[in-house]
Amino acid sequence: MIMPEKIRSRMENAWCMYDWANSAFTTTIIAAVFPYYYVSVAGKSLDPNVATAYWGYTNTFAMLLTAVTAPVLGAIADRSGSRKKFLAALAGIGMMFSGLLALVGPGDWILASALFICGLIGWSGANVFYDSLLPHVAAQGRIDTVSSRGFALGYLGGGLLLALNLVMIQPGLLGLESFPGIPDAQWGARVSFISVAVWWAVFSAPLLARVPEPPVRTGDYDRLNPVRSGFRRVTRTIREARRHPDILLFLTAYWLYNDGIASVIVMAVAFGHEIGISQGHLIGAILAVQFVGVPFAILFGRLSGWIGAKRSIMVGLGIYCLIVTGGYFMTSPLHFWILALLVATAQGGTQALSRSLFARMAPEKRAAEFFGFYDVSAKFASIMGPFLFSTVAILTGSSRNGILALLALFVLGGGLLSAVNVERARATSDPGRNEI
């Protein structure tokens, strides 16, 4: 069925706006404000390298929980026609626990870890269903473009809120510190956690209102016991995955290189604080990443049209090899800024094209189910990277020695990606699939 262009454009824009919405959690909670708050306020009673390590372990445990549930959630959604309902419910969990982070005070690292884990489960679980809507929203010929546009809007939306939060945390930047009612840095951070919940909720509305639920799959779905049906579908998907060697190869490559990307995102601010870089430089550099990343995310979408999505991802991985090598030698705020800007050139485009490349290869009628495995690959990457980083920090007394391990992940991941045959994967997944 051919969809009118105007309706499809509205759907694509609404889908992309969810990246704008949930990137508030990515920038403020995962990448910039909360990591610093965790090691400097919640972990105030801990040694600096131990606080950094505990932050890494917190991310590891949260991702482990999401990894084991993601494929089941995807299978349930495919069979019940409830992707948007699952997305809304899990996003609601993420919003609630984002706001509750405002309760964390000095020394409350256990409470901070518990609330962050719950929030990350909601954010990550909702992304399974958000990603799975992509092949139903965008025509095959526009998947790379729409996915890249979503990441670009995510950069912009997350960056705008982070800029507002930075002013609340450091009101002296605009000379506002003398105004009555302006919070200090600690309370500014707490208010920023609440702002994430509000921003996320408001800008999720277009997707929920304008993107239709994909058709319900019929067959062996057990409506009286959706969990049992979900596990049954996961078992079958694992067996069927053997028929898709290129998809398995891609997921292995993605697991490796996204391990490195996730570790850079999650640990950068905590590591920077450990080596003595100030909060203003750390959050300022992360903020710059959001805005510099917008044109580069779009550029990578266009680059894929010139050299292909797979080769474009390889370009991004080459940039990351430079980043982690430079990270080992980082000693000053200038170094952190340079590396952050390099991240901005590659992060959004690499992740957007990875998502769209997988969407092109996965069986269209089982998109949520297969995206569950895609997100499992991402979650297990986020498990091992921070775990490796944290373990090295504990054993050596410094986080610096864990940086070089990330280089091998990008090299090995890129090597496996180069062997993936995208056209063969598409033919195996959906014989005769035509562009809409």
Q: Which of 82, 90, 315, 372 is nearest to 216 (CA)?
A: 82
What confidence tier does 208 reach under pLDDT thresholds 50, 70, 90? very high
* pLDDT number for residue 313: 94
What confidence tier does 314 reach under pLDDT thresholds 50, 70, 90? very high
Between vectors from CA 384 to CA 383 and to CA 389, what angle results, nearest 5°? 110
Higher pLDDT, 349 or 414: 414
User: For residue 188, what are its two tokens?
Assistant: 């500014």
| pTM score, whole prediction | 0.73
Residue 201 CB-half CA count within 13 A = 14
pLDDT, mean of residues 138-166? 82
Query: Which residues are within 8 A (CB) of 156 and not within 5 positions of it... i.e. 6 or more apart?
Result: 20, 290, 291, 294
**What are the two backbone dihedrals, phi and then psi, of residue 103, each rounded to the nearest 5 degrees?**
-80, -15
Give Cα 233 distance to the centre of its chain: 25
* pLDDT number for residue 334: 92
pLDDT digits (tens, 9 = 90+) for 170-190: 754 444 444 444 455 678 889
Number of DSSP helices (H) and strands (E) in the chain, helices first:
17, 0
pLDDT digits (tens, 9 = 90+) for 53-76: 888 889 888 878 877 776 677 666
What confidence tier does 226 reach under pLDDT thresholds 50, 70, 90? low
At 354, the amino acid letter reads: S
Residue 13 CB-half CA count within 13 A = 6
| Helix 245-274, helix 279-307: angle, nearest 10 | 160
User: For residue 163, what are its two tokens?
Assistant: 């800029």
Asked if 366 contacts 83 with a C-beta cutoff of 8 angstroms, the reply is no
Kindly list the distances between the CA atom of residue 95 and the CA atoms of 26, 102, 116, 118, 133, in Å, as whole numbers in the listed order. Answer: 12, 12, 11, 10, 21
Given a cut of 80, is residue 3 above it in pLDDT?
no
pLDDT digits (tens, 9 = 90+) for 73-122: 766 666 667 788 889 999 999 999 999 999 999 999 999 999 999 999 99
Q: Which of 197, 274, 271 is nearest to 28 (CA)?
A: 197
pLDDT, mean of residues 318-340? 91
* pLDDT number for residue 178: 44
From the CB of residue 63, how many other CB atoms can be counted at a distance below 10 Å? 27
* pLDDT number for residue 177: 47
**What are the two backbone dihedrals, phi and then psi, of residue 179, each rounded to the nearest 5 degrees?**
-75, 140
* pLDDT number for residue 175: 42
pLDDT, mean of residues 115-139? 87
Query: Which residues are within 8 A (CB) of 123 and not within 5 positions of it... i.e. 6 or more apart?
Result: 22, 25, 26, 90, 91, 94
User: For residue 241, what are its two tokens?
Assistant: 């995955």
At 133, the amino acid letter reads: L
pLDDT, mean of residues 328-336? 89
Kindly list the distances between the CA atom of residue 201 and the CA atoms of 120, 249, 287, 370, in Å, as whole numbers in the listed order. Answer: 15, 36, 21, 27
pLDDT, mean of residues 420-431? 75
